[in-house]
Structure 1
């Protein structure tokens, strides 16, 4: 399970964009978004760095 804190994720549209971006990296990934905690959980065998890079490019860089 990959967990990323996305401080710039603030609304439902953000959550949708984050989910779609994760699916571009791995179409089979299971993505759970928690807007209240600004956390995304990704169940995937892909490299976590690939998700972090894709999310950063989409405007949602993970917190360090």
Structure 2
């Protein structure tokens, strides 16, 4: 049995880039979603630090 492998490289990423470049937040999410994602990290201390590298304009960094 042979299965076809579909590659993400076959998708035109420019469609996504163009869409998100025209809105305030250049990717999916919101401050509420950022805080929800943060809540899943166990044993996070009050003085924890975050490295936000190559993550768009850094909107989530302001929340963190």
Question: Of the two, which has the highest radius of gyration?
Answer: 2
With the length of structure 1 as denominator, give the TM-score of the two structures.
Answer: 0.27
**Greater relative contact order (CA < 8 Å, ≥ 6 in sequence):** 1
With the length of structure 2 as denominator, give the TM-score of the two structures.
Answer: 0.27
